[in-house]
Chains A and B, each alone.
Chain A
Amino acid sequence: MSISKKTNRLGGKSQIPAIEVRNLTVSYGPVPALLDVSLSVAPGQLVGVIGPNGSGKSTLLKSLLGFVKPDFGDVELFGEDADKAKGRVAYVPQRGSVDWDFPVTVGEVALMGRYGKQPWWRDMSAEDREIAEYALEQVRMSEFRNRQIGQLSGGQQQRVFMARAIAQGSEILLLDEPFAGVDAATERAILDVLETTREAGRTLVVVHHDLTTANEYFDSLILLKQRLYAHGTPEQVLHPELLSEVYEGKLRVFAHLPAAGQSEVGQRGTPHE
């Protein structure tokens, strides 16, 4: 795939949603990890996924990566089945899972994004290098290309892995708690990268823990606890009542949610006699 083709695809805003999840149920036993989750994310959105521990956030990410077999329902990425569209999503690892002492430079990490495109006996092509370089440019890390990855600030480190994901040619980036354990300045810098990446037309799904910042960081939020409690703008989702229900299990109010995307509940399908 050439660069120009890629920009074309990203540039031409299609009506197909980047992510379409329909009635997804995933379980590892009597208690479902995800129950009847339906949501749709338009291309070019920066989406936060929030919810308490064990609420199915990582199961949702795995489903988007095509790693889990759902009990029911389907996941589509740009209209393609998730397990057939594996190249279209890139996973950006948690900072803690990276060995920052590893002898590898910024440029090499970005190039790793292209490793899947060449068989092992063939060299990386000039085009691959060009794409990796372009990805670094996009996250404004070109000048650091010969730096070892440990010698970067937290925000810069995040950018390198974003560049790798971009080099993979993925339009959808999944990030697992990129803000975990970083200081305020770094958090700002990482957010800056996320926003730049979104402006380049990519869709970002970010697992997030901090409710106080969820409001300003994301275009929309997904509030999850086994089932989808809300999906909409931060104002719609961050309702104190809704949050206390999800996080503290205070109320047992059913499905009448203030948020959008719940029209199906209103339809009340007619179970047969």
Chain B
Amino acid sequence: MDGETIVKCVPDVGFLHTGVEKQSEFRIFHQVFTLINRLDYLSGPQEEMGYSLAVEQLLGVEVPKRAQYLRVLLCELSRIASHLVWLGTGALEVNMSSVFMYCFDTREKILDIFEQLAGARFFPRYWRIGGLAWDVNEDWLQQVKNFLKIFPDRWKEYHDLVTENPIWLKRSKGIAKLTLQDCLDYSLTGPIIRGCGEPYDLRRVFPYSSYQDFEFDIPTQKEGDAYARYLVRMEEMRQSWRIASQALERLPEGQVKTEDTKITPGALPRPWGKNASVMVPDRRITAAPLREGIKIPDGASYHAIESSRGELGFYVVSDGSNKPYRVGLRTPSFMAIQALPKVIEGGLLADAVVAIASFDPVLGDVDR
């Protein structure tokens, strides 16, 4: 520090390290879900998505269309939820505390949807290898429909509150500037690279889980500063809403898991309604594929998805047993924190707060 100016910055991470990669090697493939969706704790469904896609790719299993659409729907809802937390806390950093309340109110509705579906709010743990845990019902679809109906108005509200707000403009315009070359050098992905003008989105580049069926735009901004990243994420919320609406509208009929009961256990009834929030120990734990696991043939697969923060990759190696030989996690926040000195050195201390908020790192995602 030199007065209020930051001269040098050395990030020191690792305080949340829980050894997820090591622990995964001692759990059967199904149990790893529980570990990995706690990495990026703001978007649990997306972590489950990435891991299940990597394992399914290794197995060579095709997931039914209905399950793919439901997965997309949940991922986009969780992207909205995650961006709402970013917007709320980001505004809180510059003392706009009312935005925080409004955002969390809307996010609460998404968490209610997850709770109604699977009994847990942050980590639904609704994914299974080869599909989803159980089918959805009409009430739940109606709940999602209600949410999608109110969301555009809510979004407009935040847009009116923040986008032209003079305090917000002064605090975020020209702060934490990055160039496209920096993004390539430091392997920055997601909203950060899109804020530098590169329309790079894994949903479009390497489509997975039927993303090619949906119409959506990839928002970009040229400036590469905190305000550009703000605009990108705001627009992304609207695009997520578009994708979610399409997925709900065109939701195909059919199964939600593969026919092969060796991979996924057969359909089990799920208590809906109020009881869903109570963890009822039911027979699904004792179903053979979940208890003993599936043996996955030798091989390795890498699958990356576009999470709320960028490229979230899973490298899964199997040696033919029922546990992964190695699970490697490529997390977007790890790279974002590495690039942090680049943007905050030479700036003011007060701007460092905005810079960190604009990268939207989740430290569970950094330390794993």
Say if A and B assemble together. Answer: no
Residues on A lying within 8 angstroms of B by beta carbon are none
Chain B residues packing against A (C-beta within 8 Å): none
